[in-house]
Structure 1
Amino acid sequence: MDNLVDRPDAAIPAPTAPGATLTGAGRAPLAGEPLTISNIPAGRQQIDDIDAQLRELLATRRDLSRQIQALRSAEGGPRIEHARENEIIAVWADELGPRGVEIAMAVLTLCRGAAGQP
């Protein structure tokens, strides 16, 4: 199976499980959209589709973050702006509580990359 974080150009497969409810053009429902499944395989397919979208979004976020880090460094600033990261963590915490902090930290760690890396 391809890793979408390593291959951000990879296509996201559309749900194919019997009873899957498609929303829009072959995508999983977005937050706030009604979720309807008629069986377990359909629900699992929707979860798989959402996970694939998350991986693609994380790859895009990682690439943007690293470009910003490179621009900041080229301008003589620090690679990581801790005040900005604290704002991001606070938003995740407000939305998801303590687990949101954990998720935000994991996302930020993924997107930072190693020092000296563009």
Structure 2
Amino acid sequence: MMTDVVEQNGESTGTARPGEQGDRPAAQTGTQEPGAAARIVAIRERIDEIDQQLIDLWQERAGLSQQVGRTRMASGGTRLVLSREQAILERFRTALGADGVQLALLLLRAGRGPL
């Protein structure tokens, strides 16, 4: 099945199968200028590499945090150490602002589960 590919400006760029972007630079990068398109592709490749590193680090961090929690509880400690969580939230807030707090909350939840 073929469908029209429509750019953000609403103009059709032709047809493509579902899931295909086409082989023209504008379909993939949003620009017709070959030099800019090549630069965008290169930058996006690096973004994809960084995304994978973030995923890998997220999973590693969650696993380590779970190990800490299991170790603490097995030794008779509490499930959470609120002062530690507050310090993490503050570190992320200082470095990244309000979005950092949201990120830290997600990281904490991934490691300890929902409250």
Aligned position for 2:70? 70
TM-score by length of 2: 0.64
Equivalent position of 1:91 in the other structure: 91
Which letter does structure 2 place at the counterpart of 1:67? Answer: Q
Which residue number corresponds to residue 54 of structure 2? 54
Structure with the largest fraction of strand: 2
Compute the displacement of 1:114 (Å).
6.0
Superposition deviation, residue 75 in structure 1: 1.1
CA–CA distance in structure 1, aligned partners of residues 102 and 62 of structure 2 = 17
Q: Which amino acid aligns with 1:104?
A: A
After superposition, give the CA deviation of every residue in 1:80-116 in whole Å (9 maximum; x if it has no partner).
111100000000000001111011001111111368x
- Stretches of structure 2 lacking an aligned partner (at least 5 in a row): 1-37
Partner amino acid for 1:74? A
Letter in 2 for 1:93: R
Higher relative helix content: 2
Aligned-CA RMSD value: 1.5
- Between 1:62-71 and 1:38-47, the stretch displaced more is 38-47
Number of residue equivalences: 78
Who is 2:105 aligned against? 105
Residues 87-96 or 76-85, more deviating: 76-85
**Percent same amino acid at aligned positions?**
38
CA change 1:89–1:114 in 2 (3 A) is: closer
Determine helix, strand or coil for the equivalent of 1:99. helix
C-alpha separation in 2, matches of 1:60 and 1:41: 29
Equivalent-residue separation in structure 1 for 2:66 and 2:79 (angstroms): 9
Q: Secondary structure at the match of 1:79?
A: coil
Q: Mark the structure with the bigger radius of gyration.
A: 2
Q: Distance in 2 between matches of 1:83 and 1:48?
A: 35
- The amino acid that maps onto 1:80 is L
Unpaired runs of 5+ in structure 1?
1-37
**Paired letter, 2:81:** E
